[in-house]
Amino acid sequence: MLENSACQQLAVDAEHCQLSTAPPLVGLVRQRLQSAQLPFVASPASFQEVGVWFREQLHGLLPQPQQPDAVSGWPNEVTVARYDTGDGISAHRDHARYAVAIVICSLTGLGRLQVVSDRKALSVEQDHVLNPGDVVLLAAAGRDSPMHVVRTLYGPRLSISFRFDSSATDSIAPAAARLNLS
Ligand SMILES: O=C(O)CCC(=O)C(=O)O
């Protein structure tokens, strides 16, 4: 859970990011949102501060050994997402190139994240209502990464998520390519 003041500052900074409408269909995944993907080091100071704090927490939480240096380099990417009421992303797994963990911070609005058994989301394994300040930690190891659905119960909902793209060199892959379509 984020402190109220930190959450508010993150939301203000997220509001100032230039977002673009994400493609409505990425393979089998339907989505309706606006988003921006930023290199962590070029993201607002409030994002970097909270990202470094999460990194420190991950050092203690994750089984060792992790991919060499991955936790030290985590995160190298931040995604800002903005959803209106009814928007969301259908069942997907984050791409296998994301290593270590994915941390999603809810900043405004009300959302619902469900971990589901498959793309049709016929069976719900976990159901989380997301309030401002809530933090979700997802495994990021390919097939171990949970299939999840995100819906917006009340918008605008803003979230920021922190990731480590193990394939990143100098450039950050486009947001649309984040979803694992295999
Ligand atoms: O915005 C969120 O709450 C989560 C988005 C999501 O599921 C993702 O980026 O993979």
Per residue in 130-154, pLDDT (tens digit) is 999 999 999 987 668 899 999 999 9
State the closest ligand 1 atom to the C-alpha of 79, by its place in the atom list counted from 1: 9
| Amino acid in position 132 | P
Nearest alpha carbon, ligand 1 atom 7? 150
Pocket test for ligand 1, best of 161, 162, 179 (most atoms within 8 A of CB): 161
Dihedral of the CA atoms 64, 146, 33, 90 (nearest 10)? Answer: 170
The pTM for the full model equals 0.90
Q: What is the pLDDT of residue 172?
A: 44
Report the chain's mean pLDDT, rounded to a whole number. Answer: 89
The hierarchical CATH code for the domain 4-168 is 2.60.120.590
Contact 13, 78 (CB under 8 A): no
**DSSP conformation class of 171:** S
List, for residues 167-178, the tens digit of each pLDDT value: 885 444 444 445
State the closest ligand 1 atom to the C-alpha of 81, by its place in the atom list counted from 1: 1
User: How far apart (Å, rounded) are the C-alpha atoms in residues 93 and 99?
Assistant: 13
| Amino acid in position 5 | S
List, for residues 65-95, the tens digit of each pLDDT value: 656 567 889 999 999 999 999 999 999 999 9
User: The tokens 């909270």 sit on which residue?
Assistant: 50
What residues does each domain of the chain span?
4-168
Nearest alpha carbon, ligand 1 atom 5? 150
The Cβ-side half-sphere exposure at 17, using a 13 Å CA radius, reads 29
